[in-house]
Copies of this chain bind each other. A is one copy, B any other.
Amino acid sequence: MTLSYFEIWRGIDNLAAQKGLSPSALAQKAGLDPTSFNKSKREGPDGRKRWLSMETLNKVLAATNTSFLDFMMLAGDKITQPLSSTGLPLINFSDNQKENLFNRNAMLDEEQNVGKIDFPCFFKPGMWALEMTTETYDPVYPKGSLLLIDPQTEIRRHDRIVVQMEKGPMLLGEFLGKTNEILDLKTLTTERTLLSLKKAQIAFVARILWVSQ
């Protein structure tokens, strides 16, 4: 992902909005002239686009305690972006040739022509982490592991979800389905208990995306 002209200005506008400022006030906060970010100054009379210098952007980010990465998130129209153009090598567990792909140190030989996936990275609004502090969900979610929870991802059958009851426990399990009033869940405890939960008693449901080991 590069930062295009449009994205830069979107980032500026979104950053100002996030801080509850106008573009004019944001510029001032950064020690710049208040007219710096006027929409009227983003293109010249000849249509030539005005970019920003890295120095100017640096001043803005420093004044608002915003990292470059935060800025990129604000600038992008998609939150989840690949981290690297080169991606992450992907190995198939059932590939009978896979032992030939590695050297002695479990490092993939660079010349190997394997598939790639985008680096998984987690820049989603509202995302939070859940630290397991019980052995109830060993070995699937061992004590001490971190679960990354996304409240906004759509939930489909067989997805793993966290369910917070209005009164009572938080449950972790596999989503089996739902009706108007009931949510069916197979817990990920050792017992794999099947539960039918009344939606009226559920505070929220969210998708589990990743688990640390």
Contact = CB atoms under 8 A, between A and B. Distances in A.
Contact of A203 (B4, B94, B104): B104
A127 B108 CA distance: 8
A204 B162 CA distance: 35
A125 B57 CA distance: 28
Interface in A139-181: 139-140, 146, 148-149, 151-152, 159-160, 162, 164-166, 170, 174
B107 A84 contact: no
Interface string A170-213: 10001000000000000010001000000000011111111111
A68 B105 contact: no
A170 B129 contact: no
B212 A3 contact: no
Contacts of A210: 120, 210-213
A190 to B, nearest CB: 10
B54 A133 contact: no
Contact of A117 (B73, B84, B129, B160): B129
A126 interface: yes
A151 B105 contact: yes
B51 A3 contact: no
A40 interface: no
Interface of A: 1-5, 8, 51-55, 57-58, 61-62, 65-70, 72-73, 81-86, 88-94, 98-99, 102-108, 117, 119-123, 126-134, 139-140, 146, 148-149, 151-152, 159-160, 162, 164-166, 170, 174, 188, 192, 203-213
